[in-house]
Amino acid sequence: MATQADVRRIALALPGAEEGKDKFVFFVRDKGKPKGFAWVWLERTEEKKKRVPNPGVLAVRVTNNAQKDLILASNTRKFFTEGHYNGYPAILVRLKEVTVADLKVLLEEAWRCRAPKELLAAHLGSCVLIAASCILAGCATVGVIGQKDAVAYARNNVCGLAAADSLCLVRSVERTLQGYRVVIDRRPPVGRDRLSVDVSSGLLGKVRVEATPVDTATRRP
């Protein structure tokens, strides 16, 4: 079970995040303009009456409507929507039904949807560290993993966090049913081989990374 206190603590720990002065809303500024990524649901309890805050439900931004549909279908007890949000990339989350771990993933993904490029770049380091520390156990994620994230998981799994691009060369990226297949050439001192790395994920599930050696006899110099 999560609470508004959990929402505030997790949201404000994200780079550049701010809380509204008179509303339970969290945003990040992009070129000076506030971009909301989570806010209390304003419920219309009576027809033609003003909407009122429902502290038990949080509205959270998602990447797009495809991801929205996937998340809604994954668990109708935790997630729902209403007519006001038709066509808008956000979901409604029943706080009492989600864990704090679920909430953390949702808020981090929502922040990523709204944060400007410079903040995303600054935050990438901590994201990569999380990815590296969870390679074997798996990390929580929302929806289908994106290509950039898949490449980051693959590189840091097989080459390490500090490897330069010249030592960990991404040869190709191919979409699969579960995620992406990333082919990587490792060069000394990181390695001397070619690996096919499958990266897959599910809704609020685990990111899985599997590396398979490619026959070096077929490699070109």
Confidence of residue 148 (pLDDT cuts 50, 70, 90): confident
Is the predicted pLDDT of residue 166 greater than 80, yes or no? yes
Q: CA–CA separation, 143 vs 187, rounded Å?
A: 33
What pLDDT digit, counting tens, does each position of 190-202 carry?
889 999 999 886 5
For range 65-84, the mean pLDDT: 88
For tokens 């409507």, name the residue.
65
The crossing angle, in degrees rounded to 10, of helices 100-114 and 4-12 is 40
pLDDT at 113 (0 to 100):
85
Report the C-alpha dihedral over residues 191, 192, 194, 197, rounded to 10 degrees: -10
Q: Which residues contact 149 (CB under 8 A, 6 or more apart)?
A: 141
135 band by pLDDT with thresholds 50, 70 and 90: very low
**pLDDT tens track for 26-36:** 999 999 999 99
CA angle at residue 103 from 14 to 79, to 5 degrees?
135
Confidence (pLDDT) at 123: 62
pLDDT for 219 equals 45
Q: 25 Cβ partners below 8 Å, 6+ apart? A: 19, 36, 38, 39, 40
Q: What is the structure's pLDDT at 184? A: 95
Mean pLDDT of 214-218: 64
Looking at residue 82, its pLDDT comes to: 95
List phi, psi (to 5°) of 142.
-120, 125
